[in-house]
A and B are shown apart, each in its own frame.
Chain A
Amino acid sequence: MKLFIANGHLIDPAAQENTGMSVLIEDGKVSAWLRPNETQPEGCEVFDATGLLVAPGFIDLHVHLREPGQEHKETIASGCAAAVAGGWTSVCPMPNTNPVNDNAAITRYMIEQAEHAGSANVFPIGAITKSSDGAELAEMGEMKAAGAVAVSDDGRPVPNAGIMRRAMQYAKDFGLPVIDHCEDKSLSAGGVMHEGRVSLLLGLKGMPALAEDIDAVRDIILAQDTGAHVHIAHVSTKGAVEAVRRAKNEGINVTCEVTPHHFTLTDKYVEGYDTNYKMAPPLRSEEHVDAIIEGIKDGTIDAIATDHAPHHHDEKALEFDRAPMGITGLETAVGLAFNELVHKGIISLERLVEMCSANPARIFSLEGRGTLRPGSIADITVIDPELKWAYSNAESRSRSRNSPFDGWEFTGRAVATFVSGRLVFKA
């Protein structure tokens, strides 16, 4: 079975390629690149990519798929459908399922459900501690053997520095990155939005930026001490960006990701008390968003991840301080990255592809992905950078509708998604 993606513009940052090139795929793997003047091989199914970008499949390091336990919000199948519609060929679900993904059986179950669904690849993230309670280490080695690619207690960050230190020492043995949702809850407790002028104006309890800064600094120090790889999730503050920048300069093993909403929106959007603007970390003020943009520009920030967090409508229809935190994001991320980063001249197309494919693959050591070099797995995202489209919550593939970007117009989207050489989405 051969597939020929013809006449596209190939961007493969890992291979330092950015040129007109057709891609030949055999048995789910890239077998060759052909220049536009070379003759098309015989007996291929052809996908005409004229005028389109052909990139290594995008990898989302941070999603919530809610299965097992909260299938009314999302299932692995519905989450994967939303993923491929957004151009993501692989997603890494956080372990805050019910039960928590803190053992190999659940890790395996998640991967099996994804294979069943047959669209995006699922690379689960295991818990750092049992039940993410922050007390006893989870069986990281077993989970890794079952297919886990990193560990995190995400929204319930390990509060005890001693346990976090041990977790890093232990995770290092298995080559697992420790993902850190940086939030010192003793500082952010009860907060429902960024602490600042807007929270003052709205009478809502704020989460100070320093709650993120302090935890980021703590865990960078622990990474330096242990030599473990710490990956800072959804970085959102000026202080955390600066801490990562400094750490990288000092050679500490640290990487980080940013979400589209944190580089797009400020806390001013909370002014109407719309719970679709409630998330953790919260939308920050302009100075923090500026620092994030700067970090994207200078390479401090490695990857774009969605933190796709589906919630049922009834839960989001509550009072602002009682509604759950989080928004969906798989289908809007690429559009937002185009609007806010590429079309505004913040980063090049090549850098965008790098932040969505090469870097995520490197950060979680996903062999054979994040590049389309011959021999690699044929996970491919085909993009029309000039396509004008509007996102609609009503048409989302996710089971949930909690996106603040309903009705937003974008220029640029993924128009076809291939996983292991199989077309799994076409716009």
Chain B
Amino acid sequence: MDKPFRRRDLLGIRDLTAAEIKGILDTSENFLEVNVREIKKVPTLRGKTVINLFFENSTRTRTSFELAAKRLSADAVNISVASSSLSKGETLVDTALNLDAMNPDCIVVRHGSAGVPYQLAKVSKAAIINAGDGSNEHPTQALLDAMTIREHKKQFEGLEVAIVGDILHSRVARSNIHLLTKLGARVRVAGPGTLVPPDFIHLVGADEGRSTQLIVCEHIEEAIRGADVVMILRIQRERQDAAYFPTLREYSIHYGLTNERLDLAKKDAIVLHPGPMNRGIEIASEVADSSRSLILDQVKYGVAVRMAVLYLVTGGSASA
């Protein structure tokens, strides 16, 4: 395989070109096949060490990265750090240097603070993969979403994608907005005004020629009408305490994805959700369980995307 992506780290989608994104998606397709073999393992990263450094709990993402590493024959080590242990005096930089001393090839990092992967990349010799940093980015989630969309819609050019929910704090939304607009789709975002500030249209700037590709809608119906893809974000229950919306009940009535609301979308529209779902709050159970919902496909593609990313940043051999 010729490498389409020559960066040392994957820190965010914001930094990537459309060609790099396509390259990662193409590489992911190749790895998809490994996951359905009888023996789900290739020697691609034999002898390489991958550390999953998780400062935030996320069984799904961590398991997905762990499986991806193991299927490539890498040695995967999981380290969970409660953020509080850092307040005992060890700095982020100390943590990075300590891990570096063990010579890992790659560190997959998930952290509640935006920018941590960027800060680690500056001091670490290992390749850094961002597995979610605060409200900033979650690049592999956007890549697996893209893979799911491409599987069903074949192309991104001209596609109308609605993203609904807590846009302001969502790293999934951010990474998806960057990715989808770079590949030519149009994104409409909607949700409560407290979580979808009108200024959000500035996320993709005119300087990049994409300013017309992001639309902030006042109503969820406006976002969903005629959409090819409806992406629902998980509502963080703790946001309620911060008075971004009054109650979960009111949220579900006004912003939850029901069958009636989904009927506004194109007939062949697909529904995505990054999981885990709050059933009955941001998504009705009948929508979540319908044939239009591709939530399990997303999980499946997640492993392939993470295999591709690990392969690309650690520079494993191509002999599968």
- Which A residues fall within an 8 A CB radius of B? 196-197, 200-205, 272-273, 314, 317-322
Contacts and interface: CB of A to CB of B under 8 A. Distances in A.
A318 B199 contact: no
A189 B91 CA distance: 24
A307 to B, nearest CB: 23
A203, A272, A318: which has the most chain B beta carbons within 10 Å? A203
A322 B89 CA distance: 12
Contacts of A205: 135
List the 3 closest pairs (A to B, CB-CB), nearest first: A203-B136, A273-B115, A319-B113
Interface string B78-111: 0000000010010111100000000000000001
A273 B114 contact: yes
Contacts of A314: 89, 91
Nearest to A270: B115
Nearest to B203: A200
B92 A200 contact: no
B200 A200 contact: yes
21 contacts: A197-B203, A202-B115, A203-B115, A203-B135, A203-B174, A204-B114, A204-B115, A204-B136, A205-B135, A272-B118, A272-B122, A273-B114, A273-B118, A318-B91, A318-B92, A319-B111, A319-B113, A319-B115, A320-B114, A320-B115, A321-B114
Contacts of B202: 196-197, 200
A19 to B, nearest CB: 49
B116 A317 contact: no
Interface string B241-260: 00000000000000000000
A311 to B, nearest CB: 12
A272 to B, nearest CB: 6
A9 B135 CA distance: 55
Contacts of A320: 113-115, 119
Nearest to B96: A317
Contacts of A319: 92, 111, 113, 115-116, 119
Nearest to A198: B202
Contacts, number: 61
A205 B115 CA distance: 12
Interface residues of B, number: 27
A197 B203 CA distance: 6
Interface string B49-84: 000000000000000000000000000000000000
A317 B200 CA distance: 30
B200 to A, nearest CB: 7
Question: Which secondary structure dominates chain A's binding surface?
Answer: loop
A272 B93 CA distance: 15
B9 interface: no
B135 to A, nearest CB: 4
B158 interface: no
A196 B116 CA distance: 20
Contacts of A317: 91-94
Given A205-B135, A320-B113, A320-B114, 14 more contacts: A197-B202, A200-B199, A200-B203, A203-B114, A203-B115, A204-B114, A273-B116, A317-B92, A318-B86, A319-B111, A319-B115, A320-B115, A320-B119, A322-B86
A372 B199 CA distance: 52
Contacts of B135: 203-205
A205 to B, nearest CB: 7
B91, B93, B94: which has the most chain A beta carbons within 10 Å? B91
Nearest to B119: A273
A202 B199 contact: no
A320 B91 CA distance: 12
A356 to B, nearest CB: 35
B205 interface: yes
A314 B86 CA distance: 11
B67 to A, nearest CB: 27
B274 interface: no
Interface in B111-159: 111, 113-116, 118-119, 122, 133-137
A204 B135 CA distance: 7
Contacts of A318: 86, 91-92
B273 interface: no
Interface in B198-256: 199-200, 202-203, 205
B171 interface: yes
A319 B113 CA distance: 6
B41 interface: no
